[in-house]
Structure 1
Amino acid sequence: MWTEEIVAGRPAWRHTPSDVVFRKVPGGAFRMGLSDAELDAVRAIERGGEVEDTVEPFLASAGDAQPVREVRVEPFLIARHPLTVAQVRHWLPEYEDEYADADTGTARLEGDLDELLELLPFQLPSEAQWEYAARAGTTTLTFRGDRKPGEDQLLDDFGDEARIAAAENAFGLAAMGSANELCADVWISGFAGAPTDARPRTGDGPRTVRGGAADLYPWQGCDEWLLLLSATRYEHADFTAVRPVAPLPPA
């Protein structure tokens, strides 16, 4: 079921039936949420004249990703990138995707989402797992720093191994923030009272989504780059990508 191998110079675990490649994310603690330093970095980008429209709505909604708190995360496996159309067809052979240009593109699910989640032998990441994986040890806007992320950081097709490898963060994960990725947590504005051990928050209602900058490509100058930020979160409304997590395989 699992094959351990080296992918792009890093250890990886391939789920052989579906061909989904997972990376091991080491355990640790991190500061989760949108920090004052990150807000200052967004304001600095604005002062530098790099804002196309306005960051005011983003700043006004900053409370959705606060207060910042320390979260402890246990080691886990997470897919190297969102599930592709071809990978989704392992579980849903009749799956068709109107958003992807190729079978190697990110699958974005709407009506098929619930069926896929029932069939997947994996889980959705908690928000804490997702943000911890996206930050990969950093405390900046993205794992690349506090500069404004550009369209060059988008990765929406995974047919080119060299491009995937070049886009990886320190945990060997690519395209964190490109597609809107569904998390296990129910949507709750803010982190007041949220667990500090990376458990998802459960309940009724829509789930939380992270990322989504490639879903608006080509960008229309509305500061879509804000969706690439590690701390950006919002409520699930329509189509979504899936990047599953799994427990560590037996040694």
Structure 2
Amino acid sequence: MSVVMWAEEIVAGRAAWRHVASGVVFREVPGGTFQMGLSEAELAAVRAIERAGGAEDSIEPFFASAGNAQPVREVRMEPFLIARHPLTVAQVRHWLPEYEDDYADTDSGTARIEDDLDDLLEALPFQLPSEAQWEYAARAGTTTLTFRGDGKPGEDQLLDDFGDEQRTAAAENAFGLAAMGSANEICADVWIPGFAGAWADARPRTGDGPRTVRGGAADLYPWQGCDEWLLLLAATRYEHYQFTAVRPVATVPPCT
């Protein structure tokens, strides 16, 4: 007798797939194309925030490193499943029962994994998202700095604990995903500055060295006025070090 891995549900008014064994809720992201990378329009939007007095510190390092998320290119996407939010401490313990977290205050908080990362990735029946999948999911059909527009994102956009279902639902983007950009989330791609020669589809870039991470604005909370909001931008990317969160992806289950 085959084991049922997925159950279709409605979560916060949207269709979802729940991984039966672990309880992790996934959303199905539709296929399509999008412009991946930090566009000139987005750079202009950041400059507008700066001119309006919204930058607490010098953001010239951000502009100096803009090439790490360029050139912008069109990427083709196939449908995929991605977790509604990063794995929580309780969810990680499904695969690593002895897991202890030095950063989360509750079991419903985002798990930030350090020494256990390799063990978790080996135990998971899922994959890490490619950078293309992560950014496509974060943008959710938008072309702005965040899915909420080109305005300066604030601390109210952070979500790091998922014990309050009402708050989690209110934070979702158009794809039904919460907390994109809050925690730094590791991707399958190896860190390569810039997108020159990158794939035109969702395949991760592989090789030796550290992986790429996306997001991380909640990792620096409470904010100290060092423009931590830039980590909420859909296109912000950097090299993995220290701890990381995990938001797995999976193949869309076949129709039954």
C-alpha deviation, 1:55, in angstroms: 1.0
Deviation at residue 96 of structure 1 after TM alignment? 0.4
Distance in 1 separating the partners of 2:249 and 2:28: 10
Does residue 213 in structure 1 map to residue 217 in structure 2? yes
- SS, match of residue 184 in structure 1: strand
Q: How far is 1:238 from its partner?
A: 0.8
Q: How far did 1:103 drift?
A: 0.0
What is the rounded CA distance, in whole Å, between the counterparts of 2:114 and 2:72 in structure 1?
32
Structure-2 residue corresponding to 1:11: 15
RMSD of aligned residue pairs (Cα, Å): 0.3
The equivalent residue for 1:157 is 161
Cα offset, 1:250, TM superposition: 1.6
Offset of residue 54 of structure 1: 1.6
Partner of 1:126: 130
SS of residue in 2 equivalent to 1:94: coil
| Residues 1-251 of structure 1 mapped to structure 2, 5 A cutoff | 1-251=5-255
Amino acid at match of 1:204: D
Secondary structure at the counterpart of residue 198 of structure 1: coil
SS of structure 2 residue aligned to 1:133: helix
Give the letter aligned to residue 239 of structure 2: E
Q: Which runs of 4+ in 1 moved over 4 A?
A: none
Describe the superposition over 1:16-62 as per-residue Cα deviations: whole angstroms up to 9, x where unpaired.
11110000000000000000000000000000001111211101000
Amino acid at match of 1:62: A
Letter in 2 for 1:76: F
What is the TM-score normalised by the length of structure 2? 0.98
28-37 vs 51-60, which moves further: 51-60
SS at match of 1:165: helix
Q: CA deviation at 1:143?
A: 0.2
- State the one-letter code of the partner of 1:153: Q
- SS of the equivalent of 1:159 reads coil
Letter matched to residue 131 of structure 1: E
Q: Which amino acid aligns with 1:88?
A: V
SS of the residue 1:237 aligns to: coil
Once the two structures are superposed, residues 70-99 of structure 1 have per-residue CA deviations (whole angstroms, 9 ceiling, x without a partner) of 000000000000000000000000000010
CA distance in 2, matches of 1:65, 1:102: 34
Deviation string, structure 1 residues 201-250 (Cα, Å, up to 9, x no partner): 00000000000000000000000000000000000011000000000012
Where 1:37 maps in the other structure, the secondary structure is helix
CA distance in 1, matches of 2:205, 2:212: 10
Which 5+ residue runs of structure 2 have no aligned equivalent?
A: none
Whole-Å Cα distance in 2 between the matches of residues 172 and 226 of structure 1? 22
Q: Number of aligned residue pairs: give it.
A: 251
